[in-house]
Structure 1
Amino acid sequence: MHSAPPSGAFDGLTQVFEVLLVQPLDHHAHERSDDLSESYRRDVCKRRRAPDAPTGMGKRRTLQQMSRPQKELAAMETYHALTQIARSGQPTADKADQHAIAAIEAKAAEPEPDEPPAAIVNQTLEELAREGARRMLERALAVEVDEFLGRPRYERRLLAEHGYRNGYGRPRAVAIGTWPVEVRAPRIRDLPEDAEPFHSSILPRRRMLSAETQRLFARLYLEGLSSGDFEAAFRELLGEYATLSSSTILRLKEEWASEYAAWRVRPLTARYAYIWSDGIYLGAGLEPENSCLLVVVGAREDGHKELLAMELGYRENTESWAGVLRGLRARGLGAPLLACGDGALGLWAALDEVFPTTRHQRCWNHRVLNALDKVPKRLWPDIRRRLREVWSAESRAECELRRDGLLRWLEAHGQLAAADTVRRDWESFVTFYDFPAEHWIHLRTSNPIESVFAGVRLRTDVAKRMRRRENALYLVFKIAQRLEHSWRPLNGGLTVMTLLLGGARFVDGVYVPQPAEVSAA
């Protein structure tokens, strides 16, 4: 395979090499020349070697009439001819050729560097990759045109046939992966009026982004890149003149809306021992202000957590929660053994209506916050420590003893409102003692949801630009769906979950065999 002319030869050479200066020499031109007819090649040589053609500008005018394959073939022949002249030392009268020969000799005399700079190597590799991608894409487009017309290039069409190639359209920057590649789509003319026009399936009209690049921009949006920042990112990836409007990103998010619509009606075939529920306020421009996302997370029989529902609603509204729970029941969710959540939710009345056998466990973190709200700030460290000692007791009896001690301490310090807060709804705060001790860390608080949505809140706090509730919903859904794979499973493994779902009884977190099991043993 021939090598390209030295860059110094471009300075004094004629239009042939000026063409190469704009478009790099196609190293496979000599291979493509075999596809040209003999008369085609004779025409190239005749144009370049015309005896009446003057040097300099005369050659330019002649070469401007030639097609790109003709110019490449002529350039290859010119270069090798000049190389032979330079090596043989034969004189020539053409000043441009003399300058070119001098440049070739000077280039040949330069010592080869031991190791080219890393930047040049990297640039060369990227250029080679882009050029290879461009050629492959153009060849695929050429084959697509051949199949559409039913005949290969340079084959004469029959009189009854319609349609012929009509050059190429304007160059388009297309992202292949993250590489901007400039290609020209072929055009076809003279088709019958009733014929289907040619539209490339490989390079659709108005398409600039590959599927991989579209997924990349969607991922960047989920990671915190705002719509207005996409223009700069798009130019960085695809070139200086590339443009990408915010509306393009909004169109990409339409895919999330369709994914959410399919996800929210999917059937629930697994068994779920526990559910956690909470209302999440995102502070991302949702309207009205008291609306939020009603979220339900379930624990499957294998111990892994799963996002079950995410709907727009009102946190304290019983009917909003009842609608969410009815939807879960219609999709196949059986009554969970235990539901965990904040006491201020309208969830509990909705649970009694939809799943009356499900037991309730209130969140201890919310109870601590409610108690702190009733005491002076100087007592906060003591209240936090004493309440933690209460709910971390290893048995229900010990928990109630510590509770009584805390109540006496609060009353002695005149904090009667805080004491009433601790007493209120006590039974719903100690339900977890009737479930496996391995699961207590997951059941005493609503942290399974709080920890999940910590990343969601971080993301939405960075971009407080949502003006429609639905857009915020789709965004949070995609973030939560991505984070779901990293959620911590329940302690105890499959064995504990199998016992629990099989109807086993637990007292203070310890499995208690049934009388029939004891007698059988």
Structure 2
Amino acid sequence: MTEIADLIERMYGHHYTPQTVSNMTKVLAEHVDAFMKRPLEERYVCVYIDATYIAVKRETVSKEAVHIAVGIREDGSKEVLTYAVAPTESAYIWKELLQDVKQRGTEQILLFISDGLTGIVNAIQEIYPQAKYQTCCVHLARNIAHKVRVSDRAEICEDFKSVYRSDDEQAGKAALSTFCDKWKTTYPKVVKSLRENPYIFTFYSFPKPIWRSIYSTNLIESFNKQIKKYTNRKEQFPHEEALEKFLVSQFEDYNQRFATRCHIGFDQARSELLAMFSNKN
């Protein structure tokens, strides 16, 4: 308990006695259990999935993948749905988490957004076969930047922006065709990977007011950065239980803050989104 008391003091600037920490720990353990067993909404417009790495001790210290899923409800409010800690990010863990989400009451999800982890689409389709999938266009741009010369980065990334910032899907596909024609000789592998990716344009089939919210994982990445800002005050968590208690306290705070706030664009898209849910039935 002394180590946990020190952890709390370093992270939050408050000192508590080991006995106080022991009492707090019992309450937090109940919060973790309740968080993971609470019922979820029947329908979510979209779910963002992403993993962030945090140091935790299991005999030795290593950074492990905290898998986090954030959903947007029909009214545009946001909610952390579930999470899991594992040594590395994997589609298998995501499949288990999505099974848990379904068991807790979620029957319909229109769209999943992630960074394109290998196997993730199959994992999603096994649990939610009618859901659509969008690969993060910002991640695609970053990947492109890493595969080209520094002198070409600014130009090629600016060209790629026109693919996901067009007026409609037809214009976006035309922009990709132009992009590929321009760069196919210099960077054939980059062009080939984009041509073979069927999940770049999914967001165009959703209402225009929410396009900027759903063509990338920026929403969940910014949340993960906030979590890491706190964890960086401490080199490691003494064990997984301590990490989970910290995570759930952050998730509950997030859920309370955004329970009544409509995410940008979703108020304007509400009637169209309701129609999309109805068409899925």
Q: TM-score, normalized by length of structure 1? A: 0.48
The code of the aligned residue for 1:420 comes to K
Which residue of the partner structure matches residue 460 of structure 1?
Answer: 231
Q: Tell me, in whole angstroms, the C-alpha distance in 2 between the residues paired with 1:396 and 1:407.
A: 16
Q: Tell me, in whole angstroms, the C-alpha distance in 2 between the residues paired with 1:391 and 1:222.
A: 45
| Residue 32 of structure 2, aligned match among 248, 260, 263 | 260
Q: Tell me, in whole angstroms, the C-alpha distance in 2 between the residues paired with 1:275 and 1:222.
A: 34
Q: Tell me, in whole angstroms, the C-alpha distance in 2 between the residues paired with 1:403 and 1:332.
A: 39
Partner of 1:473, secondary structure, is helix
Which residue of the partner structure matches residue 159 of structure 2?
Answer: 386
Q: Tell me, in whole angstroms, the C-alpha distance in 2 between the residues paired with 1:332 and 1:320.
A: 19
Q: CA, structure 1 residues 308+505, in 2 after alignment: closer, same or farther (shift >3 Å)?
A: closer
The code of the aligned residue for 1:224 comes to M
The code of the aligned residue for 2:28 comes to W
Q: CA, structure 1 residues 283+386, in 2 after alignment: closer, same or farther (shift >3 Å)?
A: farther
| Residue 403 of structure 1, aligned match among 176, 195, 198 | 176
Q: Tell me, in whole angstroms, the C-alpha distance in 2 between the residues paired with 1:345 and 1:282.
A: 21
The answer to whether the Cα contact below 8 Å between 2:180 and 2:191 also exists between their aligned partners in 1 is yes
Where structure 1 has 5 or more consecutive residues not aligned to the other structure, the ranges are 1-217, 235-243, 507-521
Partner of 2:134, secondary structure, is strand
**CA offsets per residue over residues 274-298 of structure 1, 9 Å max, x none?**
1111112124557784741111111
Q: Tell me, in whole angstroms, the C-alpha distance in 2 between the residues paired with 1:347 and 1:315.
A: 14
Report how far residue 340 of structure 1 moved. 0.7
Which residue of the partner structure matches residue 275 of structure 2?
Answer: 502
**CA offsets per residue over residues 414-446 of structure 1, 9 Å max, x none?**
222222232231x21100111001111111001
Q: Tell me, in whole angstroms, the C-alpha distance in 1 between the residues paired with 2:168 and 2:251.
A: 35
- Which protein has greater RCO, CA pairs closer than 8 Å, 6+ apart? 2
Q: 1:288-367 to 2 correspondence within 5 Å? A: 289=62, 291-313=64-86, 316-367=89-140
Report how far residue 371 of structure 1 moved. 1.1
Q: 1:145-164 to 2 correspondence within 5 Å? A: none
Q: CA, structure 1 residues 475+290, in 2 after alignment: closer, same or farther (shift >3 Å)?
A: closer
Q: CA, structure 1 residues 406+283, in 2 after alignment: closer, same or farther (shift >3 Å)?
A: farther
Q: How many residues align?
A: 272
Q: CA, structure 1 residues 288+347, in 2 after alignment: closer, same or farther (shift >3 Å)?
A: farther
Which residue of the partner structure matches residue 478 of structure 1?
Answer: 249
Question: Is 1:430–2:201 an aligned residue pair?
Answer: yes
The code of the aligned residue for 2:12 comes to L
Q: CA, structure 1 residues 250+421, in 2 after alignment: closer, same or farther (shift >3 Å)?
A: farther
The answer to whether the Cα contact below 8 Å between 2:42 and 2:107 also exists between their aligned partners in 1 is no
**CA offsets per residue over residues 161-180 of structure 1, 9 Å max, x none?**
xxxxxxxxxxxxxxxxxxxx
Q: CA, structure 1 residues 503+261, in 2 after alignment: closer, same or farther (shift >3 Å)?
A: same
Q: Tell me, in whole angstroms, the C-alpha distance in 2 between the residues paired with 1:418 and 1:222.
A: 48
Q: What is the percent sequence identity of the aligned residues?
A: 22
Q: Tell me, in whole angstroms, the C-alpha distance in 2 between the residues paired with 1:221 and 1:345.
A: 37
**CA offsets per residue over residues 299-337 of structure 1, 9 Å max, x none?**
111110111111223654332111111111111001201
Question: Is 1:421–2:208 an aligned residue pair?
Answer: no
**CA offsets per residue over residues 140-194 of structure 1, 9 Å max, x none?**
xxxxxxxxxxxxxxxxxxxxxxxxxxxxxxxxxxxxxxxxxxxxxxxxxxxxxxx
Partner of 2:237, secondary structure, is coil
The code of the aligned residue for 1:418 comes to V
Q: CA, structure 1 residues 350+288, in 2 after alignment: closer, same or farther (shift >3 Å)?
A: farther
Higher strand share: 2
Q: CA, structure 1 residues 271+455, in 2 after alignment: closer, same or farther (shift >3 Å)?
A: same
The code of the aligned residue for 1:422 comes to L
**CA offsets per residue over residues 50-84 of structure 1, 9 Å max, x none?**
xxxxxxxxxxxxxxxxxxxxxxxxxxxxxxxxxxx
The answer to whether the Cα contact below 8 Å between 1:342 and 1:362 also exists between their aligned partners in 2 is yes
Partner of 2:82, secondary structure, is strand
